[in-house]
Structure 1
Amino acid sequence: MDLKRIVVAVVALLVVAGLVLGAVSGIFASVARQGLEAAGLETPRAPSTLPASALDPSASGTAGATSPAASAAPSTTAPSTAAPSTAGPDGAVALPAPVLAGTEGQGTVSGAALSDRIRGVKVKDSGGYSGEVRDMRTGAVVFSHRAGSGAIPASTTKLVTAAAALDLLGAEHRFTTSVVAAGKGRVVLVGGGDPYLLEKGSSDQPTRASLSTLARRTATALKADGVRKVSLGYDASLFSGPAWNPTWPGSYGDVASRVSALWVNEGRTTPGGGVLGPREGDPAKDAAKAFASQLEKQGIDVGGVSTARAGKDATRLAAVSSMTLERIVEHVLMTSDNDGAEVLLRQAGVAGGRKGSFADGTAVVAARLKDLGAWTSGTRLVDGSGLSRSTRIPAATLTKLLRVAGEESHPQLRPLITGLPVAGVEGSLATRFGDDESLAGRGVVRGKTGTLSKVHGLAGTITTRDGSVLAYAFLVNDPKNDYNATVWLQRVTAAISTCGCR
């Protein structure tokens, strides 16, 4: 064999070896990701919701598939779900603008016609469900199927958590992080439960409060008093324990932070690192250290950092305020942010005159639901985000709440509606509604997703083709095929949106 043939043979072997190694590494990465996505723990846009890329009909079985293996773990390769649109200069397909169909909401719906349309959507192995559709204008129930039965709601839980916080505090409320004097040469950083406090101010997120801004203001106040060296205490006592919900499995440690009234970057060790990633073991202490670093950049020498309790009459040196609660709620719902939702649960507990614990927060949320007329027996709340499988919410609770949020008498609840992602456009619904039978729902269906392993839900509002505005909720538990369950949710809501159900 001459040299040329030897070189060709070696190159061919290297190519084959590279392909094999690439395939193997891809398989391992895919399997690892599948486990997280199937449990609803990793997605580019929203915690505890599955992206379209995790739901491959070729692997999970197309709608109607019967293979047991197909429903065990979805592939990470999925068909395109982009809506027909014009390609941009880089060749990427642009999604449509989030513009909803206009209506005066004066259409009427025949319950019988709507029920026929909903029951006409057949997707094999999609599972049983608790479902209800309610007319937003009249409040009349126009479809009901086990609507009073408690179901695991996953992230649709965030709707009730956000509602309680909004109702108690108001849409314009802001949370304050402050620094107070605690004697000669000592200051205390006091956490106010701002879920989106940043370490460093950012031009990309100008409405968010930051420790860098707080440090600059604090340094200015200290220097005015001739102080250039301090010891630093930090107070996160606004919320009480436990910081970790006992019904959450330990494996959620990379998708949920230990709840604290004082943290930066939502307690994540890698800011902007996405949903999945390591979390701080002590978020308050981490925030205090970050603040000390920012103070030193402002010319203040920090001699030590320790826990403390700020006195009730302590002099405030500086403070920064969060985004309005309206914007916080919209962000929590749009991205399905677990950490933000758990902070809102604690804030609701405190605003309701109780301590900021899981138990107190859920008790206050339940009380607010009853006061709003949205409570349904069978509702059981355990956390604020929906990560717990012990929480139960019937579909009727969600449609009642959405209807109340749309009433003129409850303007403080309007962010529950404005924060809902638009199908095929934004947030946790950006990559959904891609098959032929659900395309009609793009730009029309608004909904809060909810996904854990073997749990799939969607709750929101729909403007139908004939001018009706409807609140809906569908909660699927224990489907034989996870992919088919999500297909059914998309197709059934799309079918409602095209309704001429007079």
Structure 2
Amino acid sequence: MAARDRGHGALGRAVVALVVVALLLGGVAAWRLDLVGRLGGGGEADTGTPAGPAAVPPPPGLELPPLTDPAPVGSALTPPGRIDPALVQAAVAPYLADPVLGKHVVGAVADLTAGRPVVRVGGGGAAMPASTTKLFTTTAALSVLGPEARFTTRVVAGGKGRIVLVGGGDPFLASKPLPSAYPQRADVATLAAQTASALKAEGRTRVRLGYDDSLFSEPSFNPAWPAHYLPEHVVSRVTALWVDEGRPSEGSGRVDDPSLYAAQTFAAALAANGIKVVGSPAHGVASGGRELAAVQSAPLREIVAHILEVSDNEGAEVVSHQVGVAVAHSGTFADGAATVTTTLQGLGVTAPFAIHDGSGLSRENRVTPLALVQVLRLTLDPAHPELNPIATALPVAGFTGSLTNRFDKPFPDSRGLVRAKTGTLTNVSSLAGIAVDQDGHEMLFALLADRIDKPDETKAQHALDAAAGALGACHCGAGEQTASR
């Protein structure tokens, strides 16, 4: 019973967050529609404005009943009753049976309060999760590293006039300052300016440059990924030292050697600050050395929020490697996936899943819907406040991140009531998150289809949106009506 109460209260906080998002968006809309001035008066102070709404007279000819004090909020709210599995099934079944989803559709819808599935689709077997894998990666990272963890990029003094740029596995290290970026980015231009100041204070204006990316180990390209990902620039090589996630400063695609490119970018920034770099940057491992300068990433909770909101593949892979470093003292794809798995199992995820990367780009990943549901429930458990950034970072249907332009049909009244992580690969679509129905019933869901015909991929995405939207539009309590249409 205690576990049920904890889960119910946590989701209540998530609902409050959704309401806040809606209110904020309403304020933005009012501003853009030029309603603020009309509703709130002009820009100058009006000393004759009544002090409160009760003092505002009605328009001429309109008579209003006298205002009465409202009932206290606590007594006006009645917790919703038990979820009726038959109503949940009736809400989602028509959309999950859509032929556009292909011949392999699995899913689970769980009552958050009870913590167990009320509906299973396709026997609850495993399927390819695509980017819903990021829920596993980010949850494990917050558990192991903590939400306030930061990643440091350093410059240390070496021997024989050399300095060494040491990568700390900062997923969002930038090539130059980005003042408006969120989360905030550390950058090598700022690091170079600090380094130049330290060198000039010692009377040095010429250096040799080395770079150290040894925090992560080879391979830099995951053998569990399709080979065409590399030449087609689907994803960067993953290293502990890069800038702009391995993307070039001009053009598109990915650079061939992200670590070398980061060192070259740093060398150019040193030159711009009056430090001549002799020769080309040399790859190696720093052995100690006095620190000359350092920059730090944003806290992990902000990094995780961005990864989930925009489904950042490179960021997720670096975070997975960081879990491997923290748990197994080895930053590889294999160790990252293995330690994410053992961490989640230690937290109580008992349903089967098998992952080979941190992003979900691997087509070898297999995850059961119940495993996703169990991870989601963890993120809402007050016993694990360090995991709260997951639930609050999930895109909001129709409003934020990868769900901004989705959930517009057939259940527009579910917009704002569903938060979910999306997943998309060729022939694959998935959706996993939190839904609150029209009466406040709180549900967790995971829906996966991985044999979609390519011409039907967009339609399949809409079908999953409709199934999740039906939960938000549903009156799913025992004795209540089925989904509104």
Which residue in 1 is equivalent to 2:254? 279
Please tell me the residue identity of whatever aligns with 2:393. G
Which residue in 1 is equivalent to 2:246? 267
Q: Does 1:408 align with 2:382?
A: yes
Q: Does 1:421 align with 2:395?
A: yes
Contact 1:366 1:375 in 2 (8 A): no
Contact 2:441 2:476 in 1 (8 A): no
Contact 2:158 2:286 in 1 (8 A): yes
Q: Does 1:342 align with 2:321?
A: no
Contact 1:192 1:238 in 2 (8 A): yes
Which residue in 2 is equivalent to 1:135? 111
Measured after TM superposition, the shift of residue 290 of structure 1 is 0.5
Which residue in 1 is equivalent to 2:426? 453
Contact 1:187 1:231 in 2 (8 A): yes
Which residue in 2 is equivalent to 1:495? 470
Distance 1:430 1:396 in 2: 26
Which residue in 1 is equivalent to 2:285? 309
Measured after TM superposition, the shift of residue 147 of structure 1 is 5.7
Which residue in 1 is equivalent to 2:134? 158
Contact 1:104 1:467 in 2 (8 A): no
Distance 1:270 1:245 in 2: 24
Q: Any idea what the Cα deviations from partners look like across 1:5-41, whole Å, max 9, x if unmatched?
A: xxxxxxxxxxxxxxxxxxxxxxxxxxxxxxxxxxxxx
Measured after TM superposition, the shift of residue 233 of structure 1 is 0.4
Matching residue within 236, 244, 247 for 1:257:
236
Please tell me the residue identity of whatever aligns with 2:336. G
Contact 2:328 2:335 in 1 (8 A): no
Task: Report the TM-score, using the length of structure 2 for normalisation.
Answer: 0.79
Measured after TM superposition, the shift of residue 183 of structure 1 is 2.1
Q: Any idea what the Cα deviations from partners look like across 1:52-103, whole Å, max 9, x if unmatched?
A: xxxxxxxxxxxxxxxxxxxxxxxxxxxxxxxxx889579xxxxxxxxxxxx9
Contact 1:123 1:484 in 2 (8 A): no
Measured after TM superposition, the shift of residue 142 of structure 1 is 1.7
Q: SS in structure 2 opposite 1:352? A: helix
Distance 2:79 2:244 in 1: 41
Please tell me the residue identity of whatever aligns with 2:306. H
Q: Any idea what the Cα deviations from partners look like across 1:91-142, whole Å, max 9, x if unmatched?
A: xxxxxxxxxxxx9975531122212222243533323311111222331322
Measured after TM superposition, the shift of residue 197 of structure 1 is 0.5
Q: SS in structure 1 opposite 2:354? A: coil
Q: Does 1:387 align with 2:377?
A: no
Q: Any idea what the Cα deviations from partners look like across 1:126-163, whole Å, max 9, x if unmatched?
A: 23311111222331322222464110001111110111
Matching residue within 248, 266, 285 for 2:225:
248
Q: Does 1:213 align with 2:213?
A: no
Runs of 4+ in 1 over 6 A off after TM superposition: none
Distance 2:86 2:293 in 1: 61
Distance 1:162 1:174 in 2: 14
Distance 1:319 1:112 in 2: 58
Identity %: 44
Which residue in 2 is equivalent to 1:170? 146
Distance 2:81 2:357 in 1: 37
Distance 1:339 1:291 in 2: 21
Q: SS in structure 2 opposite 1:414? A: helix
Contact 2:177 2:189 in 1 (8 A): yes
Task: Report the TM-score, using the length of structure 1 for normalisation.
Answer: 0.76
Q: Does 1:479 align with 2:452?
A: yes
Q: Does 1:351 align with 2:326?
A: yes
Distance 1:338 1:202 in 2: 20
Unaligned runs of 5+ in 2: 1-28, 35-76, 478-485
Task: Count how many residue pairs are aligned between Structure 1 and Structure 2.
Answer: 399
Q: Does 1:116 align with 2:95?
A: no
Query: Does the C-alpha gap of structure 1 residues 89 and 112 become closer, same or farther in structure 2, counting only changes over 3 Å?
Result: closer
Q: Any idea what the Cα deviations from partners look like across 1:413-443, whole Å, max 9, x if unmatched?
A: 11211111111112111111122x1322212
Distance 2:211 2:236 in 1: 19
Contact 1:156 1:457 in 2 (8 A): yes
Which residue in 2 is equivalent to 1:442? 415
Unaligned runs of 5+ in 1: 1-84, 91-102
Please tell me the residue identity of whatever aligns with 2:382. E
Distance 1:496 1:115 in 2: 10
Q: SS in structure 1 opposite 2:274? A: coil
Q: SS in structure 2 opposite 1:219? A: helix
Contact 1:136 1:406 in 2 (8 A): no
Contact 1:423 1:430 in 2 (8 A): yes
Matching residue within 434, 440, 459 for 1:467:
440
Please tell me the residue identity of whatever aligns with 1:357. T
Contact 1:296 1:302 in 2 (8 A): yes
Contact 1:105 1:469 in 2 (8 A): no
Distance 2:297 2:448 in 1: 33
Contact 2:423 2:431 in 1 (8 A): yes
Q: SS in structure 1 opposite 2:330? A: coil
Matching residue within 227, 238, 255 for 2:204:
227
